[in-house]
Amino acid sequence: MWDYDGFIGKARLYFTRGAEHEHSDDDEFAIWHLLGFEFLLRAPLAKLHPSLLAATNDNDSLLAANGVTTSKDPKSVVSGVVIDRLARIVPEFAGAAVSDSLFLMSLRNAELHASNAAVSEVSNDVWLPKLVRVAKIICQFLAIEPEDVLDDAVVKLGETLLDEADKKVAHTVELKIQAARNFLQRLSQDEVDARVAAAKPTGMEIFTRQRTTASVKCPACERNVYAPKAYVRSAREHLDGDTVIRDDIYLIDELRCPVCGLELLGAPELVAAQVPQQVTEQEHESLDERYHVETDYDYDGPEYMDE
């Protein structure tokens, strides 16, 4: 039911059906690609292990994913869970890829379940670049080419539209940065100093910001800014003496500078401004903390001894 080759084959079939329609204004071109997109999203999880697609907290589905026959039909996780798990597994699946995938699946659901013709309301230059961008990330992880599943002409069209969209974002970000610099130049030194002082955390706020934000450099005024971070996944883990050192990866999706007023919202704007989206922080944990070792305790369980 959750076979990797089956998902790739089904995605390729639906994408092929979509490519048979006009790329300009044919709704079926979009609908078939949105349907195929979900199969492509599920392929990496199926390749790692089918149980990643089994419905959460459903024993029958989990057993079925491991080859055990059950009396009930297995159920799959919803697309939102698929996207969340991809973000934890696929290194490049973060930021724009997550938001693009959520947008595409919402558009698909609106088309299939709402009364309005959702696809007709969204032009190709909006949804197709998102689909191609995510498809390239997924295919890179699967060690296949995007053209192995998508039609060549569709990939080229998506890349062209993606390039145009990136240029628009880059231009918008350039204007934002220049406006922030101009604003800063109009301030007196005392006003700048006051803004810098107000932005510095004090007392308990220092600890809170360390846990919830990451320090990044503002591309306009080049001062360090506390940007909110969200935990994505943990990567490499190794033991140093009796301490476990783990790399935790966080995602930044916005920057608001309290000094120059620059606001970068969303992954595309951060990328255009060359602000790193992913931040890796090391966490240290002693073996005692991990395994809750207690030196003094009473054991009241069964006793075992040699006869």
Question: What's the CA gap between 46 and 2, in Å, rounded?
Answer: 6
Q: Across residues 47-65, what is the average pLDDT? A: 88
Tallying the residues shown for the chain, one arrives at 307
Between 46 and 306, the more confident residue is: 46
**φ/ψ (deg, to 5) at 198:** -65, -25
pTM for this entry: 0.74
Q: Identify the three-state secondary structure at position 171.
A: helix
| Residue 51 predicted with pLDDT over 90 | yes
First to last CA, the chain: 51
Q: What is the DSSP letter of 239?
A: E
Number of other CB atoms surrounding residue 69 within 10 Å? 7
Type of residue numbered 62 = L
Q: Residue 307 — very low, low, confident or very high, per pLDDT cuts 50/70/90?
A: very low
Q: Residue 160 — very low, low, confident or very high, per pLDDT cuts 50/70/90?
A: very high
Structure tokens at 276: 């790193």
Estimate the share of the chain in helix, then strand, then coil, as percent rounded to the nearest 5: 55, 15, 30
Is residue 248 within 8 Å of residue 281, measured between CB atoms?
A: yes
Q: What is the DSSP letter of 113?
A: H
Is residue 218 within 8 Å of residue 262, measured between CB atoms?
A: yes
Is residue 88 within 8 Å of residue 232, measured between CB atoms?
A: yes
Residue indicated by tokens 């199926």: 46
**φ/ψ (deg, to 5) at 109:** -65, -40
| Residue 301 predicted with pLDDT over 60 | no
60-90 per-position pLDDT tens digit: 888 888 888 888 888 999 999 999 999 989 9
261-299 per-position pLDDT tens digit: 999 998 889 989 999 888 888 888 887 777 765 555 554
93-113 per-position pLDDT tens digit: 988 899 999 999 999 999 999
Is residue 184 within 8 Å of residue 219, measured between CB atoms?
A: no
Q: Is residue 138 within a helix (H) or strand (E), and if so which, with residue range?
A: helix 124-142
Q: CA torsion sign, 78 to 212 to 130 to 115? A: positive
Closest CA to 87 of 131, 16, 138: 138
